[in-house]
Amino acid sequence: MKHAFLVTLPEAYQNIPVARVSTIEQMQTLVTANQANAYYPDGLIQLSNNQHS
């Protein structure tokens, strides 16, 4: 899975450290604390256009 992700990146990013986390909450916590950048696969998060009155 890591290799499949890395081949989608430009050459300049091929040597960056990549880690998989077990939960989306853990990933969001690391990103919020400026300890990581996140890659969200297409379709992972569904946005809603519902607006409440």
- Give the model confidence (pLDDT) of 4-20 as tens digits: 888 888 888 888 888 88
In this predicted structure, the answer to whether residue 53 has a pLDDT above a threshold of 60 is: no
Helix (H) or strand (E) holding 47: none
Task: Report pLDDT for 49.
Answer: 65
Do 18 and 5 form a contact (C-beta atoms < 8 A)? yes
Residue 43's φ and ψ, nearest 5 degrees, are: 90, -10
State the pTM of this model: 0.54
